[in-house]
Amino acid sequence: MELLIKNGRIVDWSQDFYGDVYINDGVICEIGKNLNKNCKIIDAKGSTVLPSFIDLHVHFRDPGLTYKEDIESGSLAAAKGGYTMVNLMANTNPVCSNMDTVDYVLEKAKKIGVVDVHQVVSITNNFDGKDISHLDKLKPYVRVISEDGKDVMDSKVMIAAMVKAKESGRIVMCHCEEHSLTGIDTRMSENVMTWRNLALAQFTECKVHMSHVSTKESMEYIIEAKKKGVKVTCEVAPHHIALTDNDYRVNPPIRGKEDVEFLIKAIQDGWADAISTDHAPHSVEDKKNGSPGISGIETAFALCYTKLVKEGHITLNKLSEIMSKNTARIMGVEKGQIKIGYDGDLAIVDIDKEYEISHEAFVSKGKNTPFSGMKVYGDVIKTIKGGKVVFSKN
């Protein structure tokens, strides 16, 4: 299948020019000006063409919690947000602790065919906090293990898991939370566990990725560890940049102004590798009963564009770097750049028109957002995966 996108503002981490992109057989084949092909053409005049986004941290709730989200609704929500690849967390029902569950998810996602799906496996079997024997039975296409939403409290178990991850070339994604401290102070709870997980990563030389870093101190520990050569990458979630001092229930909580300023500085200085949404859809009922989380995959680009680029903190090149290039690098895929030979995965966006976020327009089953009614810039018009349009506004 061929596709020619013409007359767009072509932007990725390293380039920004007006021109065309030609995709053939799923791959970017030509980039330039005045390209002419006898194939389907999308006129992107007045729009910006970016590599589509890759989300390292997403909850699609399938299997078992599909009243909140399923692979189909999640995939469509991702595509609407400009994403074509997602990394699904393991806190499903059953918990994703074996290849049967991984393969169920991957096969279903493939059949739906809207976005590329990677499935994370839990660090301990069924989140029991102790047993890691299932890690020996994983196939190579499982690239990440994580106890998201939980973390592993027993340091000895975490060390053993990191050793196994290192041996098999996997990344450990850390949701840093010391549960015995959460009820006392969520900030201390995050900071203590960030520090511990970094110390264990330094000891084991395992690759770790810190999920949804929200405090200044946590980011400071990560920067310090990076300077020492610890193999750590990290992500920041859009809501931890776009909000301050807000009690909308999410884990980790929304922090203060000083934290947000520090996280933005860490992005500017290249310490924060990635933006991930922590897309956590819930039903109205569950949200009322206190479930933490934000349905965030449909609003991520607009929030980041508005808060980071429009407000002058970073360039659009930099935003593309942290939403696409670096996330692709962390997952080890040839995506996230507009480059010959790379996958033809693109997002066409209108960055000039202001619009209002409405939870009613979400295609995710989760309408839980603190951003409804907020005015933003950065509207995704079309999402293209492998040269195929997987989302179109009109």
Task: State yes or no: 185 annotated in a binding site.
Answer: no
Task: State yes or no: 127 annotated in a binding site.
Answer: no
Q: Retrieve residue 67's tokens.
A: 């009243």
CB of 152 to Zn ion, least distance (A): 13
Task: State yes or no: 148 annotated in a binding site.
Answer: yes
The two beta strands, 16-24 and 2-11, are antiparallel
CB of 110 to Zn ion, least distance (A): 26
- If one asks whether residue 239 binds Zn ion (CB under 5 A), the answer comes out as no
* Site of interaction with ligand NCD (CB under 6 A): 59, 91, 148-149, 175, 250-251, 278, 280, 292-293
Q: Which of 81, 80, 6 is nearest to 49 (CA)?
A: 6
- Pick one of Zn ion, ligand NCD, none as the site partner of residue 369 (Cβ within 5 to 8 A by kind): none
- Pick one of ligand NCD, Zn ion, none as the site partner of residue 293 (Cβ within 5 to 8 A by kind): ligand NCD
Question: Binders of Zn ion among 129-148, rule CB under 5 A?
Answer: 148
- Pick one of Zn ion, ligand NCD, none as the site partner of residue 280 (Cβ within 5 to 8 A by kind): ligand NCD
> Could you tell me which residues come within 8 angstroms of residue 235 by beta carbon, excluding any fewer than 6 positions away?
56, 57, 209, 210, 211, 212, 213, 272, 273, 274, 275, 276
- If one asks whether residue 175 binds Zn ion (CB under 5 A), the answer comes out as yes
- Pick one of ligand NCD, Zn ion, none as the site partner of residue 292 (Cβ within 5 to 8 A by kind): ligand NCD
- Residues annotated as part of the active site: 278
Q: Find the distance separating the first CA and the last CA of the chain, reported in whole Å.
A: 21
Write phi, then psi, for 54 (nearest 5 degrees): -125, 125
CB of 193 to Zn ion, least distance (A): 11
Written as one letter, the residue type at 242 is: A
CB of 65 to ligand NCD, least distance (A): 9
Task: State yes or no: 293 annotated in a binding site.
Answer: yes
Task: State yes or no: 378 annotated in a binding site.
Answer: no
- Pick one of ligand NCD, Zn ion, none as the site partner of residue 50 (Cβ within 5 to 8 A by kind): none
What residues form the annotated binding site? 57, 59-61, 91, 148, 175, 212, 251, 278, 282, 292-293
What residues form the annotated binding site for Zn(2+)? 57, 59, 148, 175, 212, 278
- Interface with Zn ion (CB under 5 A): 148, 175
